Amino acid sequence: MSGEEQPPPSGSARGKAPRRPRATGIRKGELHLDSRGRARMVDVGGKPSTRRVAVASGRVRMGRAAFDALAGGRLSKGDALAVARLAGILAAKRTAEIVPLAHAIGLESVVVECRLDAKSREVVVTATVSTSARTGVEMEALTGVAGACLALYDMAKALDRAIEIREIVLLEKTGGRSGPYRRG
């Protein structure tokens, strides 16, 4: 070692702030980064409250034995679909505790549905979340689906450790300044 001080790593307290990524189509102030590139919660205080609805879905694929036990209500842990629906509702309500920059939102409705698809041996989980607020509920819908899918895995894992949680996506959203979105 030469005794010379090494230059600080990029973005450190003594070095330059990291470059702020360019965002196209996003209004200034809507990024989760401050002027120095540090994570922050977006200020939604000046936005009007509007009706917001988001729908997300996901799939839980499992082997024949696990799927048949689930469909027949023969899982040792009980009614997996009821547990999944409740887990999805709870997850949606607790999104701000799980997703660091999500706003805590008073949800007006969370509906989680689980549909069995015997041909693909999948449970198709759909969460519909709604409220009147200053920010959207996309994260709540996605988190609700993830929570329900994880509960299904937990309920059936004794019969199949290779269960796959797949394709958690936003299907649609309405409300807010950016307008409606529908997955193509």
- Would you name the residues annotated as active-site residues? 154
Q: What residues have CB less than 8 Å from 32, skipping those under 6 apart?
A: 39, 40, 41, 42, 101
Euclidean distance between CA atoms 10 and 48, whole angstroms: 39
Distance CA 65, CA 145 (A): 23
Segment holding 70, helix H or strand E:
helix 64-71
Q: Starting at the earlier edge strand, list the strands of the sheet with 122-133.
A: 109-117, 122-133, 50-61, 164-174, 181-182
Helix (H) or strand (E) holding 110: strand 109-117
Amino acid present at 90: L
> Could you tell me the sign of the dihedral formed by the alpha carbons of 161, 124, 174, 52, in that order?
negative
